Structure 1
Amino acid sequence: MELVTILESIIREEGFILLDSTVSPGYAKLVVDTEDGITLDEITRLTRTVKDAGEINELFPEGIRLEVTSPGIDYPMTKLFQYKRNIGRAVRVLHELDNCPSPFEGQISAVENTTVTIENKKSRYSFDLVQIEKCQLVIR
Protein backbone atom coordinates (compact mmCIF):
# COMPACT_ATOMS: atom_id res chain seq x y z
CA MET A 1 0.00 0.00 0.00
CA GLU A 2 1.27 3.47 -0.87
CA LEU A 3 2.29 5.74 2.03
CA VAL A 4 -0.25 8.48 1.21
CA THR A 5 -3.08 5.91 1.11
CA ILE A 6 -2.03 4.56 4.52
CA LEU A 7 -1.79 8.07 5.96
CA GLU A 8 -5.19 9.07 4.55
CA SER A 9 -6.75 5.97 6.10
CA ILE A 10 -5.26 6.63 9.55
CA ILE A 11 -6.24 10.31 9.43
CA ARG A 12 -9.82 9.50 8.39
CA GLU A 13 -10.14 6.81 11.09
CA GLU A 14 -9.08 9.37 13.70
CA GLY A 15 -11.79 11.80 12.52
CA PHE A 16 -9.58 14.28 10.70
CA ILE A 17 -9.48 15.54 7.11
CA LEU A 18 -6.26 15.48 5.07
CA LEU A 19 -6.02 18.72 3.09
CA ASP A 20 -2.53 18.27 1.66
CA SER A 21 0.51 16.05 1.94
CA THR A 22 4.14 16.20 0.91
CA VAL A 23 5.98 12.90 0.95
CA SER A 24 9.61 12.08 0.24
CA PRO A 25 11.81 9.19 1.39
CA GLY A 26 11.69 9.08 5.20
CA TYR A 27 9.61 12.27 5.48
CA ALA A 28 5.94 13.24 5.42
CA LYS A 29 4.27 16.61 5.94
CA LEU A 30 0.52 16.48 6.53
CA VAL A 31 -1.87 19.43 6.57
CA VAL A 32 -4.98 18.34 8.47
CA ASP A 33 -8.19 19.91 9.72
CA THR A 34 -11.66 19.13 11.06
CA GLU A 35 -14.99 20.71 10.19
CA ASP A 36 -14.87 22.61 13.50
CA GLY A 37 -11.18 23.54 13.33
CA ILE A 38 -8.28 21.56 14.75
CA THR A 39 -6.54 22.11 18.08
CA LEU A 40 -2.89 21.69 19.03
CA ASP A 41 -3.83 18.77 21.29
CA GLU A 42 -5.54 17.03 18.36
CA ILE A 43 -2.48 17.57 16.14
CA THR A 44 -0.24 16.12 18.86
CA ARG A 45 -2.51 13.09 19.31
CA LEU A 46 -2.68 12.49 15.55
CA THR A 47 1.11 12.75 15.22
CA ARG A 48 1.56 10.06 17.89
CA THR A 49 -1.09 7.85 16.30
CA VAL A 50 0.57 8.04 12.88
CA LYS A 51 4.06 7.42 14.27
CA ASP A 52 2.81 4.42 16.28
CA ALA A 53 0.84 2.86 13.41
CA GLY A 54 2.01 -0.64 12.50
CA GLU A 55 1.84 0.02 8.74
CA ILE A 56 4.10 3.07 9.11
CA ASN A 57 6.60 1.13 11.25
CA GLU A 58 6.68 -1.66 8.67
CA LEU A 59 7.42 0.79 5.86
CA PHE A 60 9.96 2.76 7.91
CA PRO A 61 11.61 0.49 10.51
CA GLU A 62 14.22 3.22 11.10
CA GLY A 63 11.43 5.76 11.73
CA ILE A 64 9.96 8.58 9.69
CA ARG A 65 10.32 12.32 10.08
CA LEU A 66 6.73 13.49 10.39
CA GLU A 67 5.31 17.01 10.38
CA VAL A 68 1.59 17.39 11.11
CA THR A 69 0.17 20.90 10.89
CA SER A 70 -3.07 22.84 10.66
CA PRO A 71 -3.81 24.79 7.48
CA GLY A 72 -3.09 28.19 9.04
CA ILE A 73 -4.96 31.41 8.39
CA ASP A 74 -3.39 32.09 4.97
CA TYR A 75 -3.89 28.56 3.64
CA PRO A 76 -6.20 28.42 0.59
CA MET A 77 -9.65 26.95 1.16
CA THR A 78 -10.17 23.74 -0.81
CA LYS A 79 -13.04 21.97 0.93
CA LEU A 80 -16.68 22.99 1.29
CA PHE A 81 -16.57 22.83 5.10
CA GLN A 82 -13.87 25.53 5.11
CA TYR A 83 -16.15 27.92 3.24
CA LYS A 84 -19.06 27.16 5.60
CA ARG A 85 -16.84 27.78 8.61
CA ASN A 86 -15.84 31.18 7.21
CA ILE A 87 -19.27 32.62 6.33
CA GLY A 88 -19.17 36.35 7.05
CA ARG A 89 -15.40 36.61 6.60
CA ALA A 90 -13.57 38.56 3.91
CA VAL A 91 -11.89 36.55 1.14
CA ARG A 92 -10.01 37.04 -2.10
CA VAL A 93 -10.97 34.57 -4.80
CA LEU A 94 -9.27 33.75 -8.10
CA HIS A 95 -11.82 32.09 -10.36
CA GLU A 96 -12.95 31.11 -13.85
CA LEU A 97 -16.17 33.16 -14.13
CA ASP A 98 -16.26 35.35 -17.25
CA ASN A 99 -18.59 38.03 -15.89
CA CYS A 100 -16.69 38.72 -12.66
CA PRO A 101 -13.33 40.41 -12.02
CA SER A 102 -10.57 38.10 -10.88
CA PRO A 103 -9.41 38.33 -8.19
CA PHE A 104 -12.69 39.29 -6.54
CA GLU A 105 -12.81 40.42 -2.92
CA GLY A 106 -15.84 40.21 -0.70
CA GLN A 107 -17.42 38.32 2.17
CA ILE A 108 -18.67 34.77 2.01
CA SER A 109 -22.41 35.24 2.43
CA ALA A 110 -23.73 31.74 1.73
CA VAL A 111 -22.66 28.16 1.04
CA GLU A 112 -25.18 25.76 -0.42
CA ASN A 113 -24.46 22.37 -1.96
CA THR A 114 -21.26 23.10 -3.95
CA THR A 115 -21.99 26.80 -4.47
CA VAL A 116 -20.22 29.58 -2.58
CA THR A 117 -21.69 33.09 -2.71
CA ILE A 118 -19.33 36.00 -2.18
CA GLU A 119 -20.45 39.62 -2.10
CA ASN A 120 -19.15 43.10 -1.50
CA LYS A 121 -20.84 46.52 -1.49
CA LYS A 122 -20.99 46.59 -5.32
CA SER A 123 -21.70 43.03 -6.43
CA ARG A 124 -22.60 39.49 -5.54
CA TYR A 125 -21.36 36.36 -7.33
CA SER A 126 -21.98 32.67 -6.87
CA PHE A 127 -19.17 30.25 -7.65
CA ASP A 128 -19.29 26.51 -8.00
CA LEU A 129 -16.31 25.01 -6.17
CA VAL A 130 -14.81 23.80 -9.46
CA GLN A 131 -14.72 27.42 -10.73
CA ILE A 132 -12.60 28.57 -7.79
CA GLU A 133 -8.88 28.40 -8.51
CA LYS A 134 -7.79 29.80 -5.14
CA CYS A 135 -9.62 31.39 -2.21
CA GLN A 136 -7.95 32.81 0.87
CA LEU A 137 -9.05 34.83 3.86
CA VAL A 138 -8.21 38.53 3.70
CA ILE A 139 -6.63 39.64 6.96
CA ARG A 140 -7.13 43.31 7.72
Structure 2
Amino acid sequence: MSKRDEYEKRTEDLLLPIIEANHYELVDVEYVKEGSNWYLRAYIDKEGGITVDDCEIVSRALGEILDKEDFIDSAYILEVSSPGLGRPLKKERDFERSLGDEVEVRTYKAIDKQKEFVGILKAYDKYSVTLAFEDNTEMNIARADIALIRLAFDF
Protein backbone atom coordinates (compact mmCIF):
# COMPACT_ATOMS: atom_id res chain seq x y z
CA MET A 1 0.00 0.00 0.00
CA SER A 2 1.41 3.40 -0.98
CA LYS A 3 1.67 6.25 1.52
CA ARG A 4 -1.09 8.01 -0.36
CA ASP A 5 -3.41 5.01 -0.07
CA GLU A 6 -2.50 4.59 3.59
CA TYR A 7 -3.21 8.27 4.37
CA GLU A 8 -6.55 8.14 2.57
CA LYS A 9 -7.59 4.92 4.31
CA ARG A 10 -6.59 6.08 7.80
CA THR A 11 -8.31 9.41 7.25
CA GLU A 12 -11.46 7.64 6.07
CA ASP A 13 -11.41 5.44 9.18
CA LEU A 14 -11.09 8.51 11.42
CA LEU A 15 -13.74 10.39 9.48
CA LEU A 16 -16.50 7.77 9.44
CA PRO A 17 -17.62 8.23 13.08
CA ILE A 18 -17.87 12.01 12.53
CA ILE A 19 -19.85 11.46 9.33
CA GLU A 20 -22.21 8.96 10.92
CA ALA A 21 -22.78 11.08 14.03
CA ASN A 22 -23.89 13.98 11.83
CA HIS A 23 -25.93 11.86 9.38
CA TYR A 24 -23.75 12.72 6.39
CA GLU A 25 -22.39 10.49 3.66
CA LEU A 26 -18.69 10.14 2.95
CA VAL A 27 -18.25 10.34 -0.81
CA ASP A 28 -14.47 10.22 -1.07
CA VAL A 29 -11.13 11.03 0.55
CA GLU A 30 -8.10 11.97 -1.52
CA TYR A 31 -4.53 12.95 -0.76
CA VAL A 32 -3.06 14.77 -3.76
CA LYS A 33 -0.23 17.10 -4.65
CA GLU A 34 -1.08 20.21 -6.63
CA GLY A 35 1.82 22.48 -7.43
CA SER A 36 4.02 22.55 -4.35
CA ASN A 37 1.19 21.81 -1.88
CA TRP A 38 -0.29 18.56 -0.60
CA TYR A 39 -4.06 18.47 -0.04
CA LEU A 40 -6.08 16.09 2.09
CA ARG A 41 -9.64 16.38 0.81
CA ALA A 42 -12.82 14.87 2.16
CA TYR A 43 -15.97 15.03 0.05
CA ILE A 44 -19.22 14.74 2.00
CA ASP A 45 -22.89 14.81 1.10
CA LYS A 46 -26.34 14.52 2.65
CA GLU A 47 -29.94 14.47 1.53
CA GLY A 48 -30.74 17.99 0.32
CA GLY A 49 -27.07 18.91 -0.12
CA ILE A 50 -24.16 20.02 2.02
CA THR A 51 -23.80 23.53 3.43
CA VAL A 52 -20.71 25.50 4.40
CA ASP A 53 -21.68 24.94 8.05
CA ASP A 54 -21.72 21.16 7.49
CA CYS A 55 -18.23 21.33 5.99
CA GLU A 56 -17.02 23.42 8.93
CA ILE A 57 -18.38 20.91 11.48
CA VAL A 58 -16.55 18.05 9.79
CA SER A 59 -13.37 20.05 9.14
CA ARG A 60 -13.02 21.14 12.77
CA ALA A 61 -13.67 17.66 14.17
CA LEU A 62 -11.40 15.93 11.66
CA GLY A 63 -8.66 18.57 12.08
CA GLU A 64 -8.53 17.96 15.83
CA ILE A 65 -8.23 14.20 15.36
CA LEU A 66 -5.59 14.54 12.64
CA ASP A 67 -3.55 16.85 14.90
CA LYS A 68 -3.61 14.20 17.66
CA GLU A 69 -2.92 11.23 15.38
CA ASP A 70 -0.24 13.08 13.36
CA PHE A 71 0.39 10.22 10.90
CA ILE A 72 0.95 12.29 7.74
CA ASP A 73 4.66 12.99 7.21
CA SER A 74 4.50 16.26 5.26
CA ALA A 75 2.56 19.49 5.62
CA TYR A 76 -0.84 19.49 3.91
CA ILE A 77 -3.98 21.57 3.53
CA LEU A 78 -7.19 19.99 4.83
CA GLU A 79 -10.30 20.64 2.74
CA VAL A 80 -13.83 19.38 3.37
CA SER A 81 -16.39 20.03 0.65
CA SER A 82 -19.34 18.83 -1.35
CA PRO A 83 -18.52 16.55 -4.28
CA GLY A 84 -20.24 19.02 -6.62
CA LEU A 85 -22.73 18.53 -9.41
CA GLY A 86 -20.46 16.54 -11.69
CA ARG A 87 -19.31 14.14 -9.01
CA PRO A 88 -17.40 11.11 -10.25
CA LEU A 89 -18.76 7.64 -9.58
CA LYS A 90 -16.10 5.75 -7.64
CA LYS A 91 -17.66 3.51 -5.05
CA GLU A 92 -20.24 0.78 -5.31
CA ARG A 93 -22.88 2.96 -3.65
CA ASP A 94 -22.25 5.74 -6.20
CA PHE A 95 -23.08 3.36 -9.04
CA GLU A 96 -26.09 1.93 -7.20
CA ARG A 97 -27.50 5.39 -6.47
CA SER A 98 -26.95 6.49 -10.09
CA LEU A 99 -28.73 3.61 -11.82
CA GLY A 100 -31.26 5.18 -14.18
CA ASP A 101 -29.47 8.55 -14.17
CA GLU A 102 -27.70 10.18 -17.07
CA VAL A 103 -23.93 9.81 -16.85
CA GLU A 104 -20.94 11.04 -18.82
CA VAL A 105 -18.22 8.52 -19.57
CA ARG A 106 -14.74 9.36 -20.86
CA THR A 107 -12.53 6.53 -22.03
CA TYR A 108 -8.76 6.30 -22.21
CA LYS A 109 -8.86 5.30 -25.86
CA ALA A 110 -11.41 5.75 -28.61
CA ILE A 111 -14.24 3.27 -29.01
CA ASP A 112 -15.80 3.53 -32.47
CA LYS A 113 -13.80 6.75 -33.00
CA GLN A 114 -15.26 8.32 -29.86
CA LYS A 115 -13.90 8.90 -26.34
CA GLU A 116 -16.92 10.57 -24.69
CA PHE A 117 -20.35 9.05 -24.19
CA VAL A 118 -23.49 10.33 -22.48
CA GLY A 119 -26.26 7.89 -21.66
CA ILE A 120 -28.41 6.40 -18.95
CA LEU A 121 -26.56 4.10 -16.54
CA LYS A 122 -28.55 0.93 -17.07
CA ALA A 123 -26.30 -1.63 -15.36
CA TYR A 124 -22.86 -2.09 -13.86
CA ASP A 125 -20.71 -4.75 -12.31
CA LYS A 126 -17.11 -5.13 -11.24
CA TYR A 127 -15.92 -5.28 -14.85
CA SER A 128 -18.20 -3.08 -16.97
CA VAL A 129 -20.96 -0.50 -17.21
CA THR A 130 -23.89 -0.53 -19.58
CA LEU A 131 -25.25 2.71 -21.03
CA ALA A 132 -28.61 3.12 -22.75
CA PHE A 133 -28.97 5.82 -25.40
CA GLU A 134 -31.92 7.82 -26.76
CA ASP A 135 -31.96 5.75 -29.96
CA ASN A 136 -32.76 2.63 -27.85
CA THR A 137 -29.27 1.19 -28.31
CA GLU A 138 -27.01 0.07 -25.49
CA MET A 139 -23.26 -0.02 -25.05
CA ASN A 140 -21.17 -2.07 -22.66
CA ILE A 141 -17.87 -0.41 -21.66
CA ALA A 142 -15.14 -2.19 -19.70
CA ARG A 143 -14.40 -0.36 -16.44
CA ALA A 144 -10.67 -0.73 -17.13
CA ASP A 145 -11.19 1.46 -20.23
CA ILE A 146 -12.99 4.24 -18.31
CA ALA A 147 -10.92 7.29 -17.39
CA LEU A 148 -13.90 9.08 -15.79
CA ILE A 149 -17.55 8.37 -15.14
CA ARG A 150 -19.69 11.01 -13.51
CA LEU A 151 -23.24 12.28 -13.33
CA ALA A 152 -24.08 14.35 -16.38
CA PHE A 153 -25.67 17.75 -15.90
CA ASP A 154 -27.13 20.34 -18.24
CA PHE A 155 -27.27 24.08 -17.71
Give the structure-2-normalised TM-score. Answer: 0.62
Matched residues in 2 for 1:44 and 1:34: separation?
13
2:13 is matched with 9
2:140 is matched with 126
2:50 is matched with 39
Q: Which amino acid aligns with 1:102?
A: K
Please tell me whether the aligned partners of residues 106 and 117 of structure 2 are also in contact (alpha carbons under 8 angstroms).
Answer: yes
Q: Report the Cα offset of residue 83 of structure 1.
A: 2.2
Please tell me whether the aligned partners of residues 104 and 150 of structure 2 are also in contact (alpha carbons under 8 angstroms).
Answer: yes
How many aligned positions are there?
Answer: 137
Q: Which amino acid aligns with 1:86?
A: S
* 1:72 and 2:76 are equivalent in the alignment: no
2:122 is matched with 109
Q: Give unpaired runs (5+ residues) of structure 1.
A: none
* 1:93 and 2:97 are equivalent in the alignment: no
Give the structure-1-normalised TM-score. Answer: 0.67
Q: Structure 1's 80 and 116: CA in aligned 2 closer, same or farther, altered over 3 A? A: farther
Please tell me whether the aligned partners of residues 11 and 29 of structure 2 are also in contact (alpha carbons under 8 angstroms).
Answer: no
Matched residues in 2 for 1:3 and 1:83: separation?
24
Matched residues in 2 for 1:6 and 1:42: separation?
21
Q: Which amino acid aligns with 2:31?
A: S
RMSD: 3.7
Please tell me whether the aligned partners of residues 27 and 43 of structure 2 are also in contact (alpha carbons under 8 angstroms).
Answer: yes
Q: Which amino acid aligns with 1:11?
A: L
Aligned-partner SS, 1:71: coil
Q: Which amino acid aligns with 1:30?
A: R
Matched residues in 2 for 1:82 and 1:5: separation?
18
Q: Report the Cα offset of residue 118 of structure 1.
A: 0.9
Q: Report the Cα offset of residue 102 of structure 1.
A: 2.0
1:43-54 mapped onto 2 (5 Å cutoff)? 43-53=55-65
Give % identity. Answer: 18
